[in-house]
Structure 1
Amino acid sequence: MKKSKRPSTLFNLAALAAACLASGGALADPVKIGVIETLSGPQAASGLTYRAAARYAVERMNAEGGWNGQPVQLLEYDNQGGPGGAADKLKAAVADGVHIVVQGASSAVGGQITEDVRKHNLRNPGKEIIYVNVGAEALELTGEKCHFHHFRFSGNAQVRTKALVLAMKQANALGSRVYSINQNYSWGQDMEQAIVDNAQLGGYQVVEKTLHDVNKIQDFAPYVAKIGAAKADTVMTGNWSNDLLLLMKATKAAGLKARFGTIFLDQPGNIGNAGDLAIGHFVAHTFNPEAGGAEGERFVNDYKAKTGHLPVATEPQTVFGMAMVADALKRVKPEGGKLNVNQLAKAMESSRVKTPNGEMTMRAADHQALLPIVVSTVAKDAKYKADDTDMGFKPVKLFSAAEAATPAQASCKMQRPS
């Protein structure tokens, strides 16, 4: 089937606009949000979760009144999994009048988008756009590459690894020999460094470090053999999408007994691929409904009613990040019938929302969200099951945003418009 070159628009505003004009209501230009995600190819499993969450979040924005009495428009662009595709789709989004771009799958793609947004805004004063980063966690994005129009609503390697190490140590599940395996690009390199940096905190030795190509390894059996030969107690990895799915598959095939400490084990398919060998593995993630009690249950039930599935992996952080955008939009009034994007960015610097796991705020110094982190372990008595198995993620420790936070990087030199 031939694909359209134009994005799909989820909300048709024509009838509403005509009705409002007929009744004499003054309309400002609608706010447009563009999701630029990996919606096809081997990494699509990650991109599609971000899209599902963005759809839910925008639907909720509109149920609460949209902006200036109009529904917010959501447009979707398939970046096809690479920085080049993302650059092209950003140009398309700009041409379509998008005010906010949303992306999360891959720090390599995020690095491309944030730099293109920065350059566009410098060249086009008065026509700025904001990059809402809901999952690209490379440290450089809130470090040397930070800028006023980039906001990250997820964690980063230092935040997640610190929580993971503390919780696993407290649970006597860390051991003294840790193997580090990560993807060889900015995010994976950050994870490797974080694993080394937290060795003293965790009381372990990093027995070996491996960086591998991203999305190119079809058989992880040789890597699993190396892990076994190193006699590692724990394997720590920031791998995601296909690289984690195939790693889990290889551990099952080899019967590897080492415990895993992960960042993205809650991505759909990982538990199914690992089978019962996943029991006792850990994940440091941004949400666990069981840790959220009644509020967590209400959220996941509403999400399932609207989308057809429980929120998984990066979907909750995307919803909560978009809720912070909605909070800021409520505090920004139209100027000349248009959204002033710089005023929205200033409002976003003070956004805060209450999530079922605790309060989430934005740190103005580097535009890194401060958010709760939950460390969970795979268990059969978890309340919510994963991958149609009898296993799920049972909370081990909930860290508040303040407890999970690490300091802003000195390399971020935030410059704001005058």
Structure 2
Amino acid sequence: MRTHLKRLFTALCLCAAVGAGAQTAGQPPVPAPVRIALIESLSGAFANTGEAVFRNLVWATERVNARGGVKLVGGPRNLAVERYDSKGQNEEALAALRSAIDDGVTIIAQGNSSAIAAVLIDAINKHNEREPKKRVLFLNYSAVDPILTNEKCSYWHFRFDAHADMRMAALMDVLKDDKALKSIYLIGQDYSFGQAVLREARKQLGTQRPDVQIVGDELHALGRVKDFIPYAAKIKASGAQAVLTGNWGNDLTLLIKAAREVGYEGKFYTFYGNALGVPGVLGEAGVGKVVAVADWFPNEAGAQSEAFYQSFRQRFPKPQDDYVHMRMQLMVEALAQSLDKAGSAEAGALAAQLERSTVTFAGHQGAMRAQDHQFQQPLLVALMGKQGSPGVKFDVEGSGYGFRVIKTISPDRAEQPSSCKMVRP
């Protein structure tokens, strides 16, 4: 009886398949999309950061597809983002890269770890040399260790975020004018990016504010600390008037939460304090005390910027999904532009166009520097405030708190020299 039912089920499936084929007979096949492999933490401690990136990239590709997709030789094609979970681990990321290449993807996107970005660059360089007919390129939206566009620069790698030294210089543009500041505590994640942030902090403090005493300087394990109370207690006991950190994801949220719980009342100079739970955790205690640097903020002045943000909130109305980055939108716009000009998703043809790309979107403009493939764009520094206060029209994640832009740095001022010696194919 079971065998009969199984055969009947198989027959029904075959009939359905034949029927479906008959319905589409004579119609032109739907062109396969140009696929982007997102290799990111989609599970584990930093899954929320990976999901946030996924929303940004999907929204950007939806916009491109709505206007007809990209114009390749043979006809228009849509863009599609495919998910590959790195679990935040180098080996998993390399396995994901191999899977994406085996699946025929030619465009890789990653960013939420400079350590992972570094191993992907090495692996892609080797693959492209070994398999010149199956080359891939790497779009980096957030991995900001300066080495990636300096000593480790690659023709196949394009960074669309400002690197850590650029972000630090922007923060210092504000910190140097805080004349009341006399002591600071440096804390970061113990991997390439976190180390680079603290190294540059020491350097720039020595140049810009030699009068400020560094009363703490430490690194902690990446993504493994569940209780930051001991760190927060040390910060408070040090007497530091401010904390400077490049922490991101839960490592930043938990650090900020612990600082509040121990009663620390100093300022936080951060790279990423404007999202992923930080404003909600701090509440009123963060007003006027949390400084963040980014390529864009929701409260940036201008009708185009406001319309851009409101359209994102319409697409993703849940407060917890409120994480949008202009650079990710510019990255996809630059990709679409370059695909149009290349007429192909082949990595070599695409890279040749991408390294000369200049893109404008929602009132923002950026350009890829061909020397090192470091994107050049404005940087903004903002201060946390209560929604409804001057300069804070929009809050973050429904927290009632947002960020007021206090400094805008032009691309010319944000730009820094590079030691890249680009090897071109």
Q: 1:295 to 1:205 in 2, by over 3 A?
A: same
Q: 2:409 aligned with 1:402, yes or no?
A: no
Q: How many residues align?
A: 392
Partner of 1:350: 356
Show the counterpart of 1:413. 421
SS class of match (1:378): strand
Contact 2:36 2:107 in 1 (8 A): yes
Q: CA deviation at 1:101?
A: 0.7
**What is aligned with 2:124?**
117
Output the amino acid matched with 1:369. Answer: F
Flag structure 2 segments of 5+ consecutive residues without an equivalent. Answer: 1-19
CA distance in 2, matches of 1:415, 1:20: 49
> 1:255·1:277 contact (CA, 8 Å) conserved in 2?
no
What secondary structure, in the 3-state scheme, does the structure 2 residue paired with 1:105 have? coil
CA distance in 1, matches of 2:65, 2:102: 24
Instruction: State the shift of 1:251 in Å.
Output: 0.8
Aligned position for 1:230: 238
SS in 1 for 2:300: helix
Alignment partner, residue 272 of structure 2: 264
Larger mean Cα displacement after TM superposition, 305-314 or 58-67: 305-314
Cα deviation digits, residues 316-374 of structure 1 (max 9, x gap):
3212211111121121124xxxx331111010011111244642111111111112111
Report deviation, 1:388: 2.2
Distance 1:403 1:305 in 2: 34
Deviation by residue 1:288-331 (Cα, 9 ceiling, x = unmatched): 13224111111112222223358855633212211111121121
Contact 1:285 1:313 in 2 (8 A): no
Q: Partner of 2:4 in structure 1?
A: none
1:179 matched to 2:185? The reply is yes
Asked if residue 57 in structure 1 is aligned to residue 60 in structure 2, the reply is yes
Aligned 1:134-153 pairs, distance under 5 A: 134-153=141-160
SS in 1 for 2:393: coil
CA deviations over 1:162-214 (Å, ceiling 9, x no partner): 101112334x3771212110111100011001111111224533232111111
- The equivalent position to 2:342 in structure 1, one of 332, 353, 357, is 332
Give the conservation status (yes or no) of the 8 Å contact 1:52–1:315.
no
Out of 16, 31, 35, the residue aligned to residue 34 of structure 2 is 31
Structure 1: distance between partners of 2:286 and 2:40: 29
- Specify the structure having the higher radius of gyration (Cα): 2
Q: Secondary structure at the match of 2:134?
A: coil
Match 1:393 to one of 386, 389, 403? 403
Aligned to 1:290: 299
Write out per-residue CA displacement over residues 201-245 of structure 1, whole angstroms, 9 at most, x where no aligned residue.
245332321111111111111211221222212110000111101
**Given that residues 264 and 313 in structure 1 are in contact (C-alpha distance below 8 angstroms), is that contact kept between their aligned partners in structure 2?**
no
Separation in 1, partners of 2:372, 2:25:
40
Secondary structure of 1:198's counterpart equals helix
2:151 is the counterpart of 1:105: no
**2:312 counterpart letter in structure 1:** Y
Q: What is the Cα deviation at residue 28 of structure 1?
A: 7.4
Q: Report the AA paired with residue 130 of structure 2.
A: R
2:282 paired residue number: 274
* AA aligned opposite 2:365: E
Is contact 2:106–2:346 with CA below 8 Å preserved after alignment? no
Say if 2:242 is the partner of 1:242: no
Tell me the CA shift for residue 246 of structure 1. Answer: 0.7
Alpha carbons 1:165, 1:174 under 8 Å: kept? no
Aligned-partner Cα distance in 2 for 1:205–1:115: 39
Give yes or no for contact 1:358–1:401 (8 Å, CA) kept in 2: no
- Partners of 1:398 and 1:386 lie apart in 2 by 20
Which amino acid in 1 is paired with 2:245? Answer: T
Q: 2:172 aligns with which of 165, 170, 177?
A: 165
Alignment-derived partner of residue 192 in structure 1: 198
Structure 1 residues 314, 112: CA separation in 2 closer, same or farther (over 3 Å shift)?
A: farther
* 2:85 aligned residue (60, 67, 78): 78
Q: Whole-Å Cα distance in 1 between the matches of residues 93 and 31 of structure 2?
A: 29
What is the rounded CA distance, in whole Å, between the counterparts of 1:233 and 1:259 in structure 2? 6
* Cα gap change, 1:359 to 1:120, in 2 (>3 Å): same
Aligned position for 1:379? 385
Cα distance in 1 for residues equivalent to 2:381 and 2:315:
27
Corresponding position of 2:227: 219
* SS of alignment partner, residue 417 of structure 2: coil
Separation in 2 of the partners of 1:370 and 1:219?
Answer: 37
- Measure, in 2, the Cα distance between the counterparts of 1:96 and 1:249: 42
Q: Give yes or no for the alignment of 1:322 onto 2:337.
A: no
**Normalized against structure 2, the TM-score is what?**
0.87
Give the whole-Å Cα distance in 2 for the aligned partners of 1:215 and 1:247: 12
Q: State the alpha-carbon separation in 2 of the partners of residues 141 and 21 from structure 1.
A: 50
The match for 1:6 is none
Query: What secondary structure, in the 3-state scheme, does the structure 2 residue paired with 1:261 have?
Result: strand
Aligned-residue Cα RMSD (Å) equals: 2.2
Identity of aligned residues (%): 32
1:66/1:202 CA distance change after superposition, 3 Å: farther
Q: What is the rounded CA distance, in whole Å, between the counterparts of 1:333 and 1:144 in structure 2?
A: 31
Counterparts of 1:346 and 1:121, CA distance in 2:
15
Residue 29 of structure 1 deviates from its aligned partner by 6.1
Which position in structure 2 is the counterpart of 1:7?
none
Amino acid at match of 1:293: G
Which amino acid is the alignment partner of residue 414 of structure 1?
A: M
Give the deviation of 1:30 after TM superposition: 4.1
Equivalent position of 2:10 in the other structure: none
The superposition leaves residues 253-288 of structure 1 with CA deviations (integer Å, 9 ceiling, x where unpaired) of 011011000001122211112222211210011211
TM-score (norm 1): 0.88
